Structure 1
Amino acid sequence: MSNFNYSRFGITFRWIERYSRNTMIRVLFLALAVYLFILLMNTVTASYKGIPADMQQLTLIRAIRSCGMAYFFWVIISGTWFCQNIKTKQQRITVKMLPATALEKFLSHMAWLAIQLIGMALMFCLADVIRVALFAALGLDWIQWGIPVFFNISRVAGDMYILGVKSAAVYAACAAWLLWAQSLYVLGSILLNRYNSVIVSAIHVILIVALVWIVSKSGSGTAPADITMTAETASYTAMTAFALLGIFNWVMAYRLYSRMQVINNKLINL
């Protein structure tokens, strides 16, 4: 049997979709509720007459950024439900009986995770539509779509400088960290059968504290003229390091998944 076949991949993906559909619906409704709460709580009070236009704009921008932070948080913790169907002996037997290779099963999980993240992004668009429709129904004075503002924020942010460094480099480093953090939760969801989110979160906090301490120590005594060079070097170094660590975590996650046993330790999936 070949290692990958589109037909087997499709069958496996449909099985994962049926198994995880209810969980995904709950997660998407939760994301919609959080986005809507953030948007309404920030913009309702700024939508009445007499509020300066610049204040209304800043309020909407602040709400959109808060929604962005919520989405980034979900991207990270989404790794915790990457493999929810291998926690019990019966679940592992069912997964083993699927007519597909380990690679096809793992890629099916990855595709399902990507669809969930796309769905969470679309929930922001739906929340913005609901907000605008609600404001129009209530006859509020100020109604502005948040989706174009989001793209404008992204475009302007790419042209900014942070500590003299092109912000695109800093954002690339942050994106690499985001994907590494997600991969850490993915690895934990496969390796640990219990308390995986708690254990991985604790490890993540410890690593971040250690990294901040190392950076603060290495930056002490740096001349002001060297701050820009130091920040630029740190951005590209962090981007490369987190990208490599993320790839390593994904490879290890696949290797653990492909070697999964039906009967194993209650805590560790080995």
Structure 2
Amino acid sequence: MIRDTFFSAPRFVNLCRKEMVESWKANLLRFVMMYGIMAIAFVWNGYFRYNYPQGMIDRGVEQDPIWYFELTIFLWAMVIMGLLSASFVMERMKTKTNRIAVLMTPATMFEKFLSRWLVFTFGFLIVFLIAFKLADWTRVMIYMVSYPELKSVIASAPLSYLGNSGYYWTGLQTWDGLLMALSGYFFAQSIFVLGSSIWPRNSFVKTFSAVIVIIIVYVAIGSLLAKILFEGRGGYGVHQTMSDEAMMHLSTAVFFAMAVFNWIVAYFRFKESEIINRW
């Protein structure tokens, strides 16, 4: 009998261990897939970047020319794979047998949701970072052996360039911009977590389709209202009274708040499955 009806740390640890043991094959395959896709992309791009080593030496190239490509891939792959990972949160609720097995596990619904949420949101980020670095090091090792004369140029891509302005290319010019992008990422991911709790089967496709439809509807309504309200009026448009920095901070706070809201709604939707999805 469960005494702590909301959360128990020892029971939660055992539940996480159970989740990892039962899903290690699927998680390993997903890790290998992420690593393989990025490794192939990096090695393929490196073939064209390092094809004329003498020309790079003559031009005095000091920065690895593949960094821009790798950091761009890092951002896009993290978003796409992160959304796909979020859609797997409720994958065990697809069939009747799996639903009963999940619901009969001796743990609270909050612990079950939290264990899955941690694995497929924050756990994904750790695994993705490891896969990215392994793919990057694979590229470095291959081309250091192939082009030993470029050992001073070929290097691992520094992730610090994603949010630090300076002489070299950066993904986002300030750390505030990086924080806003991260909050936007968690907001987008939370939508797919919520979608997974609503549609356990084909969650990614259904959630993506629903988001596209909602965006189209909101854009159409917004465009129509703007046309009705502002068409034919004089003036110089809307004057912005808030600074760019304040707008960035506000956007970050809103994105984080909406992400938390979606996660909470997803939890209560999952909690309802204790009753409505038992059979």
TM superposition score category, shorter chain reference:
0.7 to 0.9
Q: What RMSD in Å do the two structures reach over aligned CA positions? A: 3.6
Q: Which residue of 2 aligns with 1:155?
A: 164
1:110 counterpart SS class: helix
**TM-score, structure 2 normalization:** 0.79
Task: Classify 1:161/1:65 alpha carbon distance in 2 versus 1 (closer, same or farther; 3 Å).
Answer: closer
Decide whether the 8 Å contact of 1:93 with 1:262 is kept in 2.
no
The 1-side partners of 2:218 and 2:165 are apart by 29
TM-superposed CA distance for 1:17, in Å, is: 0.9
Which residue of structure 2 aligns with residue 69 of structure 1?
Answer: 76
Change (3 A) 1:232 1:116: closer
Higher relative helix content = 1
Tell me what 1:98 maps to.
105
Please tell me whether the aligned partners of residues 86 and 196 of structure 2 are also in contact (alpha carbons under 8 angstroms). yes
Q: CA deviation at 1:146?
A: 2.1
TM-score of the pair, normalised by structure 1: 0.81
Q: Confirm or deny: 8 A CA contact 1:80 1:197 kept in the other structure.
A: yes
Shift of 1:259: 2.0
Name which of structure 1's ranges 23-32 and 48-57 shifts more when overlaid on structure 2.
48-57
**One of 160, 182, 185 as aligned partner of 1:175:** 182
Distance 1:172 1:56, change over 3 A: closer
Alignment of 1:127-138 (within 5 A): 127-138=135-146
Matched, 1:248 2:257: no
Structure 2 unaligned residues grouped into runs of 5+: none
Q: Give the C-alpha shift of residue 231 in structure 1.
A: 4.7
Q: C-alpha deviations, 1:48-105, integer Å up to 9, x for none?
A: 2212454963432222222322122212221111121111111111112211111111
Give, in whole Å, the separation in 2 of the partners of 1:222 and 1:243.
Answer: 35
Specify whether residues 88 and 153 from structure 1 end up closer, same or farther in structure 2 by C-alpha distance, changes over 3 A only: closer
Computing the radius of gyration from Cα coordinates, the structure with the larger value is 2
Determine the C-alpha separation between the residues in 1 that align with 2:109 and 2:242.
45
TM superposition shift of 1:263? 5.7
Residues 1:6 and 2:19 are matched in the alignment: no
User: What does the per-residue CA deviation read over 1:157-209, in whole Å, with 9 as the maximum and x for residues that have no partner?
Assistant: 7xx999xx974444333222211111111111111133321121022223445
Q: Cα–Cα, structure 1 residues 35 and 222, in superposed 2: closer, same or farther, change >3 Å?
A: farther
- In 1, are the aligned partners of 2:190 and 2:263 still within 8 Å (CA)? yes
